[in-house]
Amino acid sequence: MTNFGSSKYMGAVNFTGILSNDHTENPVVIRFLQLEYSCHKDGTKLFFRGLRIWKAVVDELMGKGMDAAKQALLTGCSAGSLAALLHCDNFHGRFPHEVSVKCLSDAGFFIDEKDLSGERSMRSLISGVVHLQNVKEVLPNDCLQKKDPTECFFPAELIKGITTPTFILNSDYDSWQIRNILAPNGSYPGQEWSSCKADIRNCSCAQLDVLHGFKKKLVSELKVAEDNKDWGLFIDSCFTHCQTPFDITWNSPISPRLGNKSISEAVGDWYFDRRQNAKQIDCEYPCNPTCSSLLPTA
C-alpha cells in the first residue's frame, strides 16, 4: 500500500443508479462505458495513455458483442462527463448508421465564470489540463480557429460541434461548481462563504443573488442544446453534483423531479424516443420542493 493508494486493497463499489441492472432500482437498464480523458503526446517524459486506452476499451467491447448493439449510450459524471462530450461523435462513428447512438453528460457542464475575487480560477485549472495532456488534438476545429484551446474545452463550446443526440443533466446550483469555481477557498475574506457553500440553506439573501447569477450564466450557455430538437435537458435547482450514479437521485421517492418526471424517467423518455421534447429547466432555488437536503454533494 502506497500513499497513492492501491486497487488491491480497494473496497467493492456497488453499481447503483444508472449503473444498476436491477429493474426495481433502475427502470432504464443500460449497459455503460464510463471514462475519464487523457491524451498521449510523443516526445515527452510523462505519458498520458487515456486516448489509447479509450480506443482499446471500445475495441475490446466491440469484440465482446457491442458491435451488435441496436442502441448505445456513452455517459460520464463530472470529469467523466467532459470525456463523454469529447468522445461522443467518435463513439457514434464506431457504429453502423442504423444504430441509435446517444450521449449523456451528468454534472459536467462546467462554466468559464469568474470567482468571487474576480479571477478565473477554473480557466487556469482547465488550461493546465489542456496543455499538459495535449487535449487540443480532440477539440472542435471550428472553435480552435477563433478561440484559445482552453476556451474550446469548456462544454459551452464543445456542444456546438457535437452532432450526436446528447442529454445534459446538471444542477444549475451545482455544489462542486459553487465550491470550486464560484467560491473557491481564498476568493473571499475569512469564512464569509464557508457556511453557504457547505449547505445552500445557509446562504444569505445577498449570497443567493450571486448564486442566481451563476444559474443564469449556466442556463444561457445551454441555448445550443435547448434549440436542438434531438437533445434532452434536465437542469434542476438542487444543491448536488453527479445525479446518475446514485439511487437517491436517479430513481427513488425523493429523487429530484421536473415536469413531474424523475431523472430516470426523463432520461428514459429521451433515450427511447418516448417523448418529443425532453427538455426541462428548473426555476430559481428554493422553488423545487423535490430538492432534498439528503442529495449527495461533492
pLDDT per residue as tens digits for the range 76-102: 999 999 999 999 999 999 999 999 999
pTM of the model: 0.87
**What is the C-alpha separation between 245 and 257, in angstroms, rounded?**
16
122-129 long-range contacts, Cβ below 8 Å, gap at least 24? Answer: 122/180, 122/181, 123/150, 123/151, 126/150, 126/153, 126/154, 129/153
Q: Is the pLDDT of residue 181 over 70?
A: yes
Q: Is residue 289 part of a domain?
A: no
Q: Are strands 232-236 and 279-281 parallel, antiparallel or unpaired?
A: parallel
Contact 285, 208 (CB under 8 A): yes
Closest C-alpha to 29, from 290, 271, 298: 271
Element (H, E) at 125: helix 121-132
Grid cell, residue 270, equals 429521451
Residue 231 lies in a domain: yes
Q: Is 5 contained in some domain?
A: no
Q: Inform me whether the pLDDT recorded for 164 exceeds 80.
A: yes
Residue 40 domain-assigned (yes or no)? yes
Q: Burial code of 133-159, b = ≥16 C-beta within 10 A, e = fewer?
A: bbbbebbbeebeeeeebbbbbbbbbbb
Residue 173's pLDDT band, with cuts at 50, 70 and 90, is very high
Which domain, by its residues, includes 35?
Answer: 13-281
Cell digits of residue 15? 453499481
Assigned domain for 132 exists: yes
Domain total in the chain: 1
Give the pLDDT score at 6: 62
Residues 99-124: tens digit of each pLDDT: 999 999 999 999 999 999 999 999 99
Helix 79-92, helix 50-63: angle, nearest 10: 50
Residue 33 clears pLDDT 50, i.e. is over it: no
Q: Is residue 7 part of a domain?
A: no
Q: What percent of the chain has pLDDT over 90?
A: 77
- Residue 291 forms part of a structural domain: no
Q: Which candidate, 140, 151, 147, places its Cα nearest to that of 86?
A: 140
> Active-site residues: which are they?
78, 174, 241
What mean pLDDT is predicted for residues 10-16?
Answer: 74
In the predicted structure, residue 35 carries a pLDDT above the cut 90: no
Does any domain span residue 295? Answer: no
